Amino acid sequence: MIARHAKKLPPSFTLLDGIYTAERGPYFEGRLRRSNLLIASSDIFSVDKVGAKVLGYDPSEVPHLVHAAKDFARPIDLSDVEVAGEKIEAVAAHHEYAFPYTEDGTLPKTLEKMGIKGLSYRKYDHTICTYCSQLNTVVLVAIVNAWKGEPWNEIEILTGKMMKPTPGKKKTILLGKCMYQANKNNADIQEMIVVKGCPPDLNGTLEALHQAGIDVSPTFFENMDMAAGFFMKRYEGKAEFEESFYQIV
């Protein structure tokens, strides 16, 4: 669908703002780098191919660019692109896109390092939508702040549209309408805790975590739009992160 979007656009000036580039972005839990790059073209496909190379990926590794190449009947490599200005090789830097999880994919590495036990929060898959992915961040931050060192009671949190419960888990939180529809009759669930809605209701999410025994603070859900501040502290006092680039005047 992303590839098809480009076909509907007339020839347009396209600008990739790479003054800052985000590793494991684009949401605020990713890590920013000061890259001082602007990539511009009157051709949206060309600029995206060059952008992929600058981030350390061959365009053939990016699924929507592969589809776009077929739709536009153009090569997936840069053989039909003329690059002016800086050389790609001089400015390219590999950016990781996936957040690190445990080998079995049941917990983010950060939570594992904290020693969190009794919780399974499986790695997101390609079926998770934008709204649920944003809520994911808030839930994980709230869980981190709720951890007091005592193992939780074999809780599993499922997201997206395809995940299935793990037999033996004592409490299963189904986060969102899609998860509920996919698993509402699943016999492997011992205690089902449902957060309905699309996107999932914030108060319902808070109540579900409390019901499961995870005593998260309501603050993170009442002030979801302020969650970015939790992550922005890592850039405070660093000269390369000028506040003027983050302000609307």
How confident is the model over 84-121, as pLDDT tens digits?
Answer: 999 999 999 999 988 899 999 999 999 999 999 999 99
From 56, 91, 126, the end of a domain falls on 91
Q: What is the pTM of this model?
A: 0.80
Within 10 angstroms of residue 157's Cβ, the number of other Cβ atoms is 27
pLDDT per position as a tens digit, 123-137:
999 899 888 888 888
| Phi, psi (rounded to 5 degrees) for 154 | 50, 65
| Phi, psi (rounded to 5 degrees) for 186 | -75, 125
- Report pLDDT for 98: 85
The residue type found at 200 is: P
CB 70 within 8 A of CB 52: no
- Report pLDDT for 30: 82
User: Do 144 and 56 sit in the same domain of this protein?
Assistant: no
- Report pLDDT for 92: 97
Task: Examine residue 249 and state whether it is found in any structural domain, yes or no.
Answer: no
Q: What is the average pLDDT score of the chain?
A: 91
User: Do 74 and 166 sit in the same domain of this protein?
Assistant: no
User: Do 128 and 63 sit in the same domain of this protein?
Assistant: no
User: Do 25 and 66 sit in the same domain of this protein?
Assistant: yes
Neighbouring-strand partners of residue 32:
22
Quick one: average pLDDT of 176-203? Answer: 94
Quick one: average pLDDT of 35-55? Answer: 96
Task: Examine residue 12 and state whether it is found in any structural domain, yes or no.
Answer: yes
Q: Which domain holds residue 57?
A: 2-91
Q: What is the count of structural domains for the chain?
A: 2
Task: Spell out the SS3 assignment of 128-179.
Answer: CCHHHHHHHHHHHHHHHHHCCCCCCCCEEEECCCCCCCCCCCCEEEEECHHH
User: Do 76 and 119 sit in the same domain of this protein?
Assistant: no
User: Do 63 and 121 sit in the same domain of this protein?
Assistant: no
Q: Largest Cα–Cα distance of the chain, in whole Å?
A: 61
Secondary structure class of 50 (helix, strand, coil): helix
Within 10 angstroms of residue 81's Cβ, the number of other Cβ atoms is 18
Task: Examine residue 246 and state whether it is found in any structural domain, yes or no.
Answer: no
Quick one: average pLDDT of 21-29? Answer: 81
- Report pLDDT for 138: 87
Task: Examine residue 184 and state whether it is found in any structural domain, yes or no.
Answer: yes
194's enclosing H/E stretch is strand 192-195
Task: Examine residue 177 and state whether it is found in any structural domain, yes or no.
Answer: yes
Estimate to the nearest angstrom the gap between the alpha carbon of 118 and the chain centroid: 24
Angle, CA of 60, 66 and 69, to the nearest 5°: 115
Quick one: average pLDDT of 217-246? Answer: 81
